[in-house]
Structure 1
Amino acid sequence: MIRRTAAAFVLALSLGSVAALPAIAQQAPATAEAGSAATHVSLPAPDGRTIDVSVWQAADEQGVILFGHGWGSDPAAYHHIIDYWVAHGFTVVAPMHTDSMLHPQRAEQTTQTIFITRIVDLAVVRGYVKASHPGKPLIAAGHSFGSLNALMEAGALTVAGPQSDADVKVVVALSSPGVIPNVVNAQTFASVTTPILMVTGDADLVPGFVTDARDHRAPFDNSPAGGKMLLTFAGGDHSLIGNADAADFDLIATTTTDFMRAHALGDTAAQARLDALTAPEGVTVERR
Structure 2
Amino acid sequence: MTSPLHEVDGDAQLSPVISIAPIILPSPNRGSDLHLKVSAPVIGESLPTILFSHGNGQSLHAYGPLIDYWAAHGFVVIQPTHLDSRVLGLSADDSRRPNLWRFREQDIADILDGLDRIERETPIIRGRLDRSRIAIAGHSWGGQTASAFLGARHPDPGNGSIVNRKDDRVKAGVLLAVPGSGRDLTQHAARTFPFLYPDYSGMTAPTLIVMGDHDQGRLSVRGPDWWRDAYDLSPSPKALFTAFGGEHSLGGIPGYEARETTDERPERVAEIQRLSTAFLRTALYPGNPAFAQAAAKLAAETAPEGQLETK
Is TM-score (shorter-chain normalized) higher than 0.5?
A: yes
Contact 2:48 2:130 in 1 (8 A): no
2:176 maps to 1:156? no
Contact 1:99 1:106 in 2 (8 A): no
In structure 2, C-alpha distance between the alignment counterparts of 1:196 and 1:210, rounded to whole Å = 25
In structure 2, C-alpha distance between the alignment counterparts of 1:263 and 1:211, rounded to whole Å = 31
SS at match of 1:142: strand
* Aligned-pair CA distance for 1:113: 2.2
Q: Per chain length, whose mean CA-contact separation is higher, i.e. which structure has more relative contact order (CA < 8 Å, sep 6+)?
A: 1
Contact 1:202 1:214 in 2 (8 A): yes
- Name whichever structure is richer in helix by fraction: 1
Give the root-mean-square deviation of aligned CA atoms. 2.3
* Aligned-pair CA distance for 1:143: 0.4
Deviates more, 1:192-201 or 1:97-106: 97-106
In structure 1, C-alpha distance between the alignment counterparts of 2:265 and 2:177, rounded to whole Å = 16
Give the TM-score normalised by structure 1. Answer: 0.79
* Aligned-pair CA distance for 1:58: 2.5
The one-letter amino acid paired with 2:59 is: D
* Aligned-pair CA distance for 1:285: 1.0
Contact 2:295 2:308 in 1 (8 A): no
2:41 maps to 1:58? yes
Contact 1:68 1:142 in 2 (8 A): yes
In structure 2, C-alpha distance between the alignment counterparts of 1:129 and 1:277, rounded to whole Å = 36
Equivalences for 1:159-178 in 2 at 5 Å? Answer: 159-160=155-156, 161-178=163-180
Quote the sequence identity (%): 30
Contact 1:139 1:168 in 2 (8 A): yes
Deviates more, 1:74-83 or 1:55-64: 55-64
Task: Answer with 1 or 2: which has the greater Rg.
Answer: 2
* Aligned-pair CA distance for 1:178: 2.0
Other-structure match for 1:100: 85
From 39, 62, 67, the counterpart of 2:52: 67
> Aligned residue pairs: how many?
252
Equivalences for 1:210-221 in 2 at 5 Å? Answer: 211-221=222-232
In structure 2, do the counterparts of structure 1 residues 188 and 149 end up closer, same or farther at CA, with 3 Å as the change threshold?
same
In structure 2, C-alpha distance between the alignment counterparts of 1:102 and 1:144, rounded to whole Å = 18
In structure 2, do the counterparts of structure 1 residues 58 and 127 end up closer, same or farther at CA, with 3 Å as the change threshold?
farther
* Aligned-pair CA distance for 1:40: 1.7
Other-structure match for 2:141: 145
Give the TM-score normalised by structure 2. Answer: 0.74
In structure 1, C-alpha distance between the alignment counterparts of 2:91 and 2:137, rounded to whole Å = 23
* Aligned-pair CA distance for 1:269: 2.8
In structure 1, C-alpha distance between the alignment counterparts of 2:91 and 2:293, rounded to whole Å = 43
2:250 maps to 1:263? no
> Structure 1 stretches (4+) deviating beyond 6 angstroms?
none
2:68 maps to 1:83? yes
Other-structure match for 2:207: 196
In structure 1, C-alpha distance between the alignment counterparts of 2:138 and 2:234, rounded to whole Å = 18
2:233 maps to 1:233? no
* Aligned-pair CA distance for 1:246: 2.6
From 111, 115, 123, the counterpart of 2:101: 115
In structure 2, do the counterparts of structure 1 residues 57 and 106 end up closer, same or farther at CA, with 3 Å as the change threshold?
farther
